[in-house]
Amino acid sequence: MKQTKGKAHLRKYHPEILVAMFRKAESLRNEMLREDFTDNGGAIHSAERILNIMGLKLKYRQVGHINNLRHFPKAVFSVEALKLHKSGHKVFIEHVSPLRHLTQKAIEKVEQGASDAQLKAFVKRH
C-alpha cells in the first residue's frame, strides 16, 4: 500500500514522536557499540537521521529538507563555510554543522538524564 503525505506524515514527524524515536535509536546505538559494532559501521545512523529531522522541525520548519538549509538566510555557518558560501563556492551541509558530532552530544544529554524538553531545547539551540 502506497503511503501518501498528509496528516499521518505530519504526526510521525511531530517533535514529540521524534524525541521518542531518538531515544530508541540512542538505545539501539549503544547496544550495537556494546557488541563492538561502530558508529562508522552504522550504529549511529538512525539517531543522526532522526536528530536531523527533529532539528528541522524545531528550528527551521520553513526549510523542508536539510539540503535547503544552505539557502536559508538565517542558517548558521562556520566562519570558513560562510566565506566560501559568500564567494559562490559550494558548501556541503555536513561541513556547516557536523551532524555526527551533534548526534553524539545529544546522545550524551540523554545518557545524562535529559528530559524531553531539555533534549528539544538542546537540539533547537545547536
Residues 104-110: contacts with CB under 8 Å, at least 24 apart: 104/39, 104/44, 106/22, 106/26, 106/47, 106/51, 107/26, 107/29, 107/30, 107/44, 107/47, 110/22, 110/23, 110/26
Q: What is the pTM of this model?
A: 0.75
Of the pLDDT bands very low, low, confident and very high (cuts 50, 70, 90), residue 1 is very low
Q: Which three cell numbers stand for residue 38?
A: 561502530
Q: What is the pLDDT of residues 5-50, one digit of tens each?
A: 555 655 778 999 999 999 999 999 999 999 999 999 999 999 999 9
Q: What is the pLDDT of residues 83-101, one digit of tens each?
A: 887 898 877 665 545 788 8
- The answer to whether the beta carbons of residues 35 and 43 sit under 8 Å apart is no
